[in-house]
Chains A and B, each alone.
Chain A
């Protein structure tokens, strides 16, 4: 089976999410990549270095700079003429583009896979991760998005892929990019961090969140996350949100501070290797999944913890 993997990038470098998708695609057969962007030659060259990659299809066009689904989908559909599967990481870009491709190919999409069980058989979470479905596709071609935390990352170097230029139809004339507001952070990226310190509603306000959670995160070199309650209350921007509707993370250590543990939040973090919970309510559901729990008032416990590290 020949698979085409969507390379997630910012027109300068390959994003880590791509590497997990390559690992999943390699289980299906020959791995080809698609780098679509504008002035993204460096990305194509870097992508060719990923271990196990055969061909890198490189489409360089101003219309592809912001990965608008209307422009990108027809390009992918073209390339699917000689590929059997399209694989994208389940990032916001992957989730935006892949179903548009699937519908144009008239195939069902398999979202957010956790494992490859056979050539056409996969597992995926449903009901906010409260159940795992094993599904088998009957379609002639596959369109798949991959949960990054479920697959190891392919080596970013050591490969010897060949970059081949391709051209697509370019601008579909339906949409245009206006602007972006990317939250600035010096800390590690949430989805790839080894340690995450996450805060919930109990943090009171953005100043308290900043004063309590950030020093602990910085001491541990951790990324900062949040529950939906903390985001909705405006303590932190929404790209900090961990959960069914936010980011799915699986770090080595996840420290949940003042988070009760609603099922929507657990859906985003319960595959973490070690979960640590600090909460003053000893009946909080978070303690049912926590490996290590401390029942204490976070306003005294967290500063004390930060001080002792």
Chain B
């Protein structure tokens, strides 16, 4: 089967984001960008399924600006076979991304689509579920284990309180949680080879998808700042503080 892995170019997870002074958003100028960490896990899982002989082809897909090509090249260097960029400079909401992915799913007919559970910029946690809804396919969200056997896939999910395993009939949609795997680093030779792999560039209009936002961002502000705390000299000071708070 084919596997499609959608990947997103986001602010690097180690960077502390700064809110723009005019409240229109977060300042992304000259900030290090990387592949969304959950998407790296998705790419890795697809590659492992291919290495286990359970998939033949991996297609990495990204919706975003021209620079998202770098993100797709990273996926290709890790081991994806080809890539599709749906290029737009607009901010695309999860629903619109899901609609674009639905059109790609209709074209490519993958057995699995593996997405990250959420992007660390908008923290929505929606796209995979929405794609599953639009394609009428089952969903295995927050996966910490994926086991493909025959015409179904068993997905162990991280849920509040522990783990849960569900069995989904293929084709299916899976979203990754952090513990699914540890993504590999792309080696230099593979980075070089990735430059020669196929990368098609398309636009949302090619798929007939209206990407107009449904949500209007009125403003973006700093979270409330915590007032500076105090340091106590020793454990006795801490005990006194806990007593003051009424917890000891």
Contact = CB atoms under 8 A, between A and B. Distances in A.
A151 B168 CA distance: 35
Contacts of A42: none
Contacts of A109: 94-95, 124, 126, 130
Given A176-B167, A263-B16, A276-B238, A309 B248 contact: yes
B11 A175 contact: no
A169 interface: no
Interface residues on B, range: 35 or more
Contacts, number: 250
Contacts of B164: 66, 177, 179-181
B123 A135 contact: no
A167 interface: no
Interface string B101-127: 000000000000000011011111111
Nearest to B99: A103
Contact of A239 (B158, B178, B215, B223): B158
A294 B117 CA distance: 36
Given A100-B130, A108-B215, A293-B231, A127 B247 contact: no
A265 to B, nearest CB: 12
A130 B17 contact: yes
B19 interface: yes
A292 B229 contact: yes
B214 A107 contact: yes
Interface string A94-116: 01111111111011111110000
Nearest to A253: B247
Interface in A191-228: 191, 194-195, 220, 228
Interface stretch (A30-38, A43-51, A68-76): A68-76
Looking at chain A's contact residues, is the secondary structure mostly helix, strand, loop, or mixed?
mixed
Contacts of A139: 214
B65 interface: no
A103 B98 contact: yes
Interface residues on A, range: 35 or more
A99 B123 CA distance: 13
Contacts of B29: none
A294 B216 contact: no
B221 interface: yes
A304 interface: yes
Interface stretch (A52-60, A153-161, A244-252): A244-252
A71 to B, nearest CB: 10
A79 interface: no
Which of A96, A138, A293, A304 has the largest count of B CB atoms less than 10 A from its CB?
A96
Nearest to A185: B161
B122 A294 contact: no
Contacts of A263: 16
B21 interface: no
B26 interface: yes
Contacts of A129: 223
Contact of A245 (B134, B178, B235): B178
Nearest to A237: B162
A220 B218 contact: no
B167 A175 contact: yes
B130 A239 contact: no
Interface in B134-171: 134, 136-142, 144, 154, 157-169
A129 to B, nearest CB: 6
A176 B11 CA distance: 37
Given A195-B247, A232-B179, A239-B158, A135 B216 contact: yes
Nearest to B141: A96
Interface in B186-244: 213-223, 226-227, 229-232, 234-239, 241-242
Given A138-B216, A247-B160, A132 B221 contact: yes
Nearest to B127: A99
A99 B140 CA distance: 13
Contacts of B81: none
Which of A97, A99, A178, A296 has the largest count of B CB atoms less than 10 A from its CB?
A99
Given A174-B138, A179-B164, A220-B248, A111 B123 contact: yes
A152 interface: no
A1 interface: no
Given A102-B133, A108-B215, A304-B235, 16 more contacts: A92-B157, A103-B133, A108-B95, A111-B125, A111-B126, A130-B16, A131-B17, A131-B19, A131-B26, A131-B222, A134-B218, A138-B215, A178-B165, A180-B163, A292-B232, A309-B248
15 contacts: A66-B164, A93-B160, A100-B133, A109-B95, A132-B222, A134-B217, A135-B216, A137-B216, A178-B154, A178-B166, A182-B162, A270-B226, A276-B238, A290-B229, A292-B230
Cβ-closest 10 pairs across A and B: A99-B129, A108-B214, A103-B133, A103-B130, A174-B138, A99-B126, A291-B229, A182-B162, A178-B165, A127-B17
Interface of B: 11, 13, 16-17, 19, 26, 93-95, 98, 117-118, 120-134, 136-142, 144, 154, 157-169, 177-179, 213-223, 226-227, 229-232, 234-239, 241-242, 245, 247-248
